[in-house]
């Protein structure tokens, strides 16, 4: 659920219909401008008991038409670091805090024959209420 909240938030933040933002990338989709958000492992902090970890880590992969376009999108996403954001998903309200875990960098994916930008963000996504 947290991944969907983050994807929905990025869609509203980027607000550009030429970019597709989704959880998985397939070369069969013929997407030229896509941002993939996938949960990654990372150090989890858990208070006592069976509560969920505080931090979640998401790898964000950006595939555009050029390295320059990908870099600009990475810079735009980086502007979210340290900001307090809220997202409504259905009738639930979430708070999203983003911290940089690794810098965005170019990576060549030989299996899909694309060059992209990739980075990992440490997030805290918390349900803070219900819409009334």
Q: Which two tokens stand for residue 54?
A: 């505080």
What is the dihedral sign for C-alpha 86, 87, 92, 96? negative
pLDDT tens per residue, range 2-48: 899 999 999 999 999 899 999 987 766 677 899 999 988 877 666 66
97, 122 Cβ separation under 8 angstroms: no
- Report the distance separating Cα 3 and Cα 12, nearest Å: 14
pLDDT digits (tens, 9 = 90+) for 50-97: 667 678 889 999 988 888 899 999 999 999 999 888 888 888 898 999
* pTM of this structure: 0.83
Paired with 51 in beta bridges are none
3-state secondary structure of 129: strand
CATH classification for the domain delimited by 2-130, as one of 3.40.50, 3.20.20, 1.10.287, 3.30.2000 = 3.30.2000
């Amino acid at each position: 659920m947290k991944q969907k909240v983050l994807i929905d938030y990025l869609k509203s933040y980027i607000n550009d219909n030429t970019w597709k933002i989704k959880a998985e990338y397939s070369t069969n989709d013929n997407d030229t401008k896509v941002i993939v958000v996938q949960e990654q492992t990372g150090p989890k902090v858990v208070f006592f008991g069976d509560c969920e970890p505080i931090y979640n880590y998401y790898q964000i992969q950006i595939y555009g038409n050029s390295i320059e376009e990908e870099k600009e999108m990475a810079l735009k996403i980086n502007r979210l670091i340290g900001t307090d954001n809220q997202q409504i998903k259905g009738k639930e309200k979430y708070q999203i805090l983003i911290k940089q875990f690794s810098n965005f960098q170019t990576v060549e994916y030989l299996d899909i024959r694309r060059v992209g930008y990739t980075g990992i963000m440490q997030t805290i996504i918390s349900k803070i209420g219900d819409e009334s």
